[in-house]
Amino acid sequence: MKKKPSVAYFCMEYAIESKVKFYAGGLGILAGDYMKEACDRKEPLIGIGIKWKQGYGEQRIDHESCKPYDAYINNVYKFLKDTGVTVNVTIRGRDVKVKVWQYDAHGVDNLYLLDTDIDGNDDEARWITGQLYGWFGEERVAQEIVLGIGGVRAIRALGLDIDVYHFNEGHALFAGFELIKEKMDAGLSFEEAWEKTRDEVVFTTHTPVIQGNESHPIDRLIYMGANLCLTKENLITLGGDPFNMTVGALRLSRKANAVSDLHKDTANKMWDEVENRCGIIGITNAIHIPTWVDQTMLELAEKYNGDDKSRESLWDRHMHNKKELIRFVENKTGVKLDPEVLLIGFSRRAAPYKRSNLIFSDRSFIEPLLKNKKLQIVFSGKAHPLDDTGKEIISNILAMTKLYPGSVVFLENYDMEIGKALTTGSDVWLNNPRRPKEASGTSGMKAAMNGVLNVSTLDGWWPEACQHGVNGWQFGDGYEDVDEEKCDAHDFNALTRCLLEEVIPTYYDNRCKWIDMMASSINTTKLRFGMKRMLDEYYEKLYNK
């Protein structure tokens, strides 16, 4: 049997356990699940990341003003193992020491974290690994030098033999510069070193909006020292001017992947005019089932045969999970929801294209449903600390919690714990991004495997899974329009029809069908969207030559 290649997976964030704040959102959740699955299966794969002192920060709510605000604390994690390895990188012409820690807890021992908050560094250097996504410009470049260049040097110092370097998003691109430098130091030309490095690197792209893909002025990269031995002309050849991190990664990789079938089409269209880039295939995201899914629900669905006994067992377990969520919400907010009322869960990063408050577009639609106890909705999510538009979205939802107390709830400071509670105990998982703006998403997968029925636009992963009226519902029919107001109006009308004509009547008037759909939701998604499939596909389609 052919030996599997050894892989180093670079990512800016990892979500391994809720209280360990090395993650911001979906990118970190995916990376953490990937590490767990690789560990479970003892794959020859390691992760390279950063030991964030403050993480992404906490986002709390001023309930009087209905405004979110950000708070930061310095975290200490005593379980991290000191590898005894320190490497150096050069930033702004100054030497910066980077300590290497090993994550050795929560079932994960294959993740190495880089840290500049150590003795021997000045205050400025110590804060490079302070806040995840906390800064832009020079400080972001400094963080990416630590991740990429420091990451490769850490691998060398640890004595690890790596065949494939996997960049999860463009943040890790400078690792490719270090690989090129190693080969140029050995006597190769830039073109020869570039070609050999391409043979070692693969890349995952996530962001389906060109403006969301990070760029930097060329002079900034040179001033910061990110270019290493690369000339200005070399940099322009790789990433253009200004230097686009995604374009650079596409030109530095032998192959890249998007994170769903639809995203593959979107990404190839986005980057169609980039010459000399690698191809982009589709490998749909997945979840680590032991972390997110109630094992009892899986077992009951596997044995499900549609008779009264199996229906009762599945429903009773779901109601157990729903009541746990209701207790969780009451402990967090003081609001006690009704277990007999259809409960919609919604938790997302507060970004305009995700349209968190779409359901409130017309109060004449939503108000009777909430006041007549046909619906109750639990929201959660964070905005980027510097994203005022995202914070305004949260403020709008908070205003709804005051208008409809007891029916609309917002859980502040969204994290893995809240995400798991919502995707386990809701009745319906609402997802309404503007197509095709969602690369994949994974929260709907968690919901689906817990028997929580997806109600979603045909974006991200859902077009691959949806069997309308069988394992969940779609609304909007995949409608796309560059006119955002027109798109929003279309999708809102489709959502109201779906809820009024299908979802609500099924829940209250055809409970047998609802339970059949729950079983189908679990059984049609558990293998296809489990992390085992995703990891197998990465080895088969991306890592193996």
Q: Determine contact, residues 202/165, Cβ cutoff 8 Å.
A: yes
Q: How far apart are CA 17 and CA 50, in angstroms?
A: 15
426 φψ region: left (φ > 0), alpha (ψ -120 to 50), beta (else): beta
What residue type is 361 in one-letter code? S
DSSP H helical segments within 127-203, as ranges? 137-145, 151-158, 174-185, 190-198
Neighbours of 393 (CB within 10 A): 22
Sketch the domain layout of the chain as residue ranges: 7-50+107-112+135-286+533-543, 289-529
**φ, ψ at 489 (rounded to 5°):** -65, -45
pLDDT of residue 386: 82
pLDDT of residue 542: 97
Indicate the CATH number for domain 7-50+107-112+135-286+533-543.
3.40.50.2000
The two most distant CA atoms of the chain are separated, in Å, by 75
**φ, ψ at 456 (rounded to 5°):** -150, 150
Instruction: Report the chain (545 residues): mean pLDDT per 10 consecutive residues.
Output: 92 96 95 98 97 94 88 94 98 97 94 97 96 89 98 98 97 98 98 98 90 90 97 97 97 98 96 96 98 98 96 98 98 97 94 92 96 97 88 93 95 96 98 94 97 98 98 97 95 98 98 98 98 98 94
Residues in Cβ contact with 296 at an 8 Å cutoff, skipping those fewer than 6 apart: 317
CATH topology of domain 289-529: Rossmann fold (3.40.50)
- Strand 408-411 and strand 375-380: the pairing is parallel
- Whether the model clears a pTM of 0.75, i.e. scores above it, the answer is yes
513 φψ region: left (φ > 0), alpha (ψ -120 to 50), beta (else): alpha
pLDDT of residue 493: 97
pLDDT of residue 449: 98
Nearest-5° Cα angle at 205, 272 to 25: 145
Q: How far apart are CA 422 and CA 312, in angstroms?
A: 22
Whether the bond between 339 and the residue before it is cis, its omega within 30 degrees of 0, is no
**Looking up tokens 């999708």, which residue turns up?**
491
Q: How far apart are CA 52 and CA 23, in angstroms?
A: 9
* Both tokens assigned to 389: 């538009």
pLDDT of residue 311: 98
